[in-house]
């Protein structure tokens, strides 16, 4: 639909289109766990509030924790009230759509009972025979659940009116070999059209807006190439440590946790070529082409363009924060990285010679996910005595979190003397400009799953290419012999290791501060 904005700060016309999904049901495996209660169910409730859920819908929680429908609904209500998500009446109305089934993920009887429950709930709520299965469980049991669903006949589809869609949380494997093994296990029972590999970063408004910014505006696309762009920085920084995730994190590390999915996906959207259309496979084709164009990391690249580090203890606001090795559940001699910085090149006509600097870390000074497209400096200054190098380059910043928005820095005259210039930011904040609050990232992706839109989900070839790119780094670290294997340290609450600054300093550049 097309409507005029009511916000006086927005003077243009807004083109909005949001298809409503057909009647369906959703099953959350691991429904009693943290992810389900903290993210998934609140996101479904958000869709309910905005009237984006189907009129005929139900949610079935499936887990090993002993609980009945009433206890499950009470737990949901308690969580939503704690988050001040809505009024009691709408919380109760949503909770009436929620049911619970106790079961084991590995026994045939559990899947038989699940099949019976789904048949009854589909009829009770008028949801038809369309189902989403969300696997909010450890990846090691994905294969067993898919096998159990398949043997129970719960993966069969027919004539477009009966569909089954499975949502898988990361990580998608631990390395290239395990990712391919998982892919083979899924492909034995599922078509690619049934598989939704979720990366919640892709559901964030600013990440989605990258394509709108590039391909719906003539002002940016002509300048989006090696002729005008000096370099690109992508930062995903967290101010928290590993929280209670030591069991997972000490085996995975930051490269697997953040680069294999989030950061490479953002890079793909920033650098890919225009797709033929906004259709899912056209977009995903271009992302795969882009990732395939990243220059493979040679031994020299590994020693010069990769920094690996771990946070040590540090003081923040008079509070002492322990180092990674002092976190509960972490080996005191662990070499698991909590910070990685990479310098990559994309080998194609658009980006030849333009460096992409990527960094991510935990226990840094601030929480920030940001993309900075840094343009080349002016070639000549007419503003004597200022030289060209005295004029700051234009920078387009896309802020993904904690506040979603964007800004463009330009040189502008300040009031006063004839020659008085300063940097001016042209910026906007999504939450200040747009009302009401947009659908959150998980809500966006859950809604797309109901609609059968895989645009923001990862395809198997995308996963494979990402692992192939990172495998040389992981293998080199495992050797523990090269210069790359050296583990640097940085204080908790700081900007990260000094060695990461060298990636840019050698090129006469610097990171933008957190």
Give me the DSSP letters along 213-249: HHHS-TTTGGGSSTTTEEEEEEEEE-SS--TT-HHHH
Per-residue pLDDT, averaged over 412-434, amounts to 77
The superfamily in CATH containing domain 202-380+434-439+459-505 is Dihydrodipicolinate Reductase; domain 2 (3.30.360.10)
Burial class (CB in 10 A: 0-12, 13-18, 19+), 481: exposed
What mean pLDDT is reported for the chain?
89
Please report which confidence band the pLDDT of residue 94 belongs to, taking 50, 70 and 90 as the band edges.
Answer: very high
At 458, give phi and psi (nearest 5°). -90, 135
Tens of pLDDT, residue by residue over 447-473, are 999 999 999 999 999 999 999 999 999
Q: How confident is the model at residue 433 (pLDDT cuts 50, 70, 90)?
A: confident
Q: Which residue has the higher pLDDT, 396 or 439?
A: 396
Q: Residue 15: its pLDDT value, please?
A: 52
pLDDT at 3: 39
What is residue 255's DSSP assignment?
I
> Which token pair is 445?
């992706």
62: nearest Cα among 122, 145, 139, 129: 145
Please determine, for residue 357, whether its predicted confidence score (pLDDT) is greater than 90. Answer: yes
Q: Which is higher by pLDDT, 165 or 317?
A: 165
φ, ψ of residue 315 in degrees (nearest 5): -105, 130
Q: Give SS3 for 357.
A: strand
pLDDT tens digits along 142-199: 999 999 999 999 999 887 789 999 999 888 888 999 999 999 999 999 999 999 999 9
Contact 470, 478 (CB under 8 A): no
Is-catalytic flag, 384? Answer: no
Residue 205: the pLDDT is 81
Q: Strands across the sheet with 195-197, in order?
A: 98-102, 57-63, 24-29, 130-135, 163-168, 195-197
Does the pLDDT at position 484 exceed 70?
A: no
CATH class label, 2-169: alpha beta
pLDDT single digits (tens) 278-301: 899 999 999 999 999 999 988 888
Q: Which of 398, 453, 457, 461 is nearest to 430 (CA)?
A: 398
Residues listed for the chain: 514
Tokens 């946070």: give the residue.
311
Residue-by-residue DSSP string for 321-359: E--GGGSTTS-TT----SEEEEEEEB-STTTTT-EEEEE
In this prediction, residue 482 has a pLDDT band, given cuts at 50, 70 and 90, of low
Give the pLDDT band (50/70/90) at residue 499.
very high
Distance CA 107, CA 298 (A): 47
Pick the range with the lowest mean pLDDT from 5-14, 26-35, 333-342, 451-460.
Answer: 5-14
Rounded Cα gap, residues 198 and 445, in angstroms? 8
pLDDT at residue 57 greater than cutoff 90: yes
Percent of the chain with pLDDT over 90: 65
* Phi, psi dihedral angles at 274 (to 5 degrees): -60, 125
**Residue 353 banded pLDDT, cuts 50, 70, 90:** very high
As a whole number, mean pLDDT of residues 246-270 equals 92
Per-residue confidence (pLDDT) for residue 12, from 0 to 100 = 42
- d(Cα 255, Cα 479) in Å, to the nearest integer? 16
Of 15, 74, 262, 282, the catalytic one is 262
Sign of CA dihedral 250, 254, 259, 261: positive
3-state secondary structure of 390: helix
Confidence band (pLDDT; 50, 70, 90) for 355?
very high
Give yes or no for a contact between 232 and 374, defined as CB atoms under 8 angstroms apart.
yes
Spell out the domain ranges in the chain: 2-169, 202-380+434-439+459-505
Q: Phi, psi (5° rounding) for residue 148? A: -65, -45
Using the Cα atoms of residue 269, residue 496, residue 297 and residue 255 in order, give the sign of their dihedral.
negative
Q: How far apart are CA 157 and CA 167, in angstroms?
A: 16
């Amino acid at each position: 639909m097309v409507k005029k904005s009511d916000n006086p700060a927005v003077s243009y016309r807004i083109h909005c289109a949001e298809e409503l999904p057909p009647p369906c049901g959703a099953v959350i495996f691991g429904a009693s766990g943290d992810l389900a209660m903290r993210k998934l169910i609140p996101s479904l409730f958000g869709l309910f509030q905005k009237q984006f859920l189907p009129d005929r819908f139900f949610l079935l929680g499936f887990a090993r924790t002993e609980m009945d429908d009433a206890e499950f609904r009470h737990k949901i209500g308690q969580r939503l009230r704690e988050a001040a998500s809505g009024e009691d009446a709408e919380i109760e109305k949503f909770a009436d759509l929620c049911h619970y089934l106790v079961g084991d993920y590995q026994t045939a009887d559990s899947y038989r009972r699940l099949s019976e429950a789904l048949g009854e709930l589909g009829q009770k709520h008028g949801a038809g025979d369309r189902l989403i299965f969300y696997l909010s469980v450890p990846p090691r049991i994905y294969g067993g659940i898919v096998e159990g669903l398949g043997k129970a006949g719960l993966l069969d589809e027919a004539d477009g009116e009966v569909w089954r869609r499975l949502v898988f949380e990361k990580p998608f494997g631990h390395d290239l070999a395990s990712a391919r093994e998982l892919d083979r296990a899924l492909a034995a029972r599922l078509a690619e059209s049934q598989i939704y590999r979720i990366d919640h970063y892709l559901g964030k408004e600013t990440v989605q807006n990258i394509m709108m910014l590039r391909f719906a505006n003539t002002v940016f696309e002509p300048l989006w190439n090696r002729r005008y762009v000096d370099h690109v920085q992508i930062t995903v920084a967290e101010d928290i440590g590993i929280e209670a995730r030591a069991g997972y994190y000490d085996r995975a590390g930051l490269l697997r946790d953040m680069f294999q999915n989030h950061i490479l996906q953002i890079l793909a959207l920033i650098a890919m070529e225009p797709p033929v259309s906004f259709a899912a496979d056209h977009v995903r084709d271009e992302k795969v082409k882009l990732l395939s164009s990243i220059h493979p990391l040679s031994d020299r690249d590994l020693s010069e363009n990769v920094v690996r580090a771990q946070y040590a203890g540090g003081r923040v606001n008079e509070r002492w924060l322990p180092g990674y090795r002092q976190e509960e559940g972490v080996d005191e001699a662990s070499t698991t990285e909590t910070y990685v910085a990479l310098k990559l090149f994309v080998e194609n006509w658009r980006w030849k010679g333009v460096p992409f600097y990527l960094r991510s870390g935990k226990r840094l000074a601030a929480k920030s996910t940001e993309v900075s497209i840094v343009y080349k400096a002016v070639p000549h200054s007419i503003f004597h005595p200022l030289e060209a190098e005295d004029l700051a380059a234009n920078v387009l910043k896309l802020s993904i979190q904690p506040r979603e928005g964007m800004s463009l820095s330009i040189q502008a005259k300040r009031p006063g003397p004839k020659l008085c210039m300063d940097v001016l930011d042209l910026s906007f904040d999504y939450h200040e400009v747009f009302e009401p609050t947009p659908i959150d990232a998980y809500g966006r992706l859950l809604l797309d799953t109901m609609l059968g839109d895989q645009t923001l989900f990862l395809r198997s070839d995308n996963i494979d290419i990402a692992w192939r790119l990172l495998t040389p780094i992981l293998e080199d670290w495992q050797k523990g012999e090269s210069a790359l294997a050296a583990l640097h340290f940085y204080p908790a609450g700081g900007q990260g290791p000094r060695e990461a600054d060298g990636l840019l300093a050698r090129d006469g550049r610097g990171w933008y501060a957190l």
